[in-house]
């Protein structure tokens, strides 16, 4: 799990929740490569991730345009094409974060 730094609001959060399938063929390597690639994309602000029965990965972005570009990145599209192999179910939610607090 990585924690993102304090980000000034507003910003966007892409929440990816998933349940893993049995097949692991290249999953770990691809997941790491996608995180490394996402972190180089314009507008990427950080991420947080946890996995038990359900995996939750939240990536933070400065704009909807940045999210759209990441969604359509060719390498990311290739990884997305394998989703049915790696997940028995998943959901993506895109949210505007207007306020945050914590310590």
**pLDDT-derived band of residue 103, with 50, 70 and 90 as boundaries?**
confident
Q: Is the predicted pLDDT of residue 2 greater than 70, yes or no?
A: no
Q: Is the peptide bond before 51 cis (omega within 30 degrees of 0)?
A: no
Alpha helices in the chain (DSSP H): 27-38, 64-71, 74-80, 83-86
Mean pLDDT within 66-85: 94
For domain 11-97, the question of CATH label 3.30.70.100 is answered with yes
Ranges of each domain in the chain: 11-97
Q: Alpha-carbon distance 71 to 43, whole Å?
A: 13
- Please calculate the CA angle 23-26-31 and round it to the nearest 5 degrees: 105
pTM: 0.88
Q: In the predicted model, what is the mean pLDDT of the chain? A: 91
Give one word for 76, left, alpha or beta, with left for phi > 0 and alpha for psi -120 to 50: alpha
């Amino acid at each position: 799990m990585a924690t993102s730094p304090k980000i000034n609001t507003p910003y966007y959060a892409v929440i990816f929740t998933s349940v893993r399938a049995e097949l692991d063929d290249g999953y770990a390597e691809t997941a790491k490569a996608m995180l490394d690639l996402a972190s180089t994309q314009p507008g990427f602000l950080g991420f947080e991730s946890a996995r038990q029965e359900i995996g939750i990965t939240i990536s933070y972005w400065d704009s909807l345009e940045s999210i759209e570009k990441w969604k359509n990145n060719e390498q990311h599209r290739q990884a997305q094409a394998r989703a049915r192999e790696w997940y028995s179910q998943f959901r993506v939610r895109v949210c505007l974060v207007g306020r945050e607090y914590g310590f």
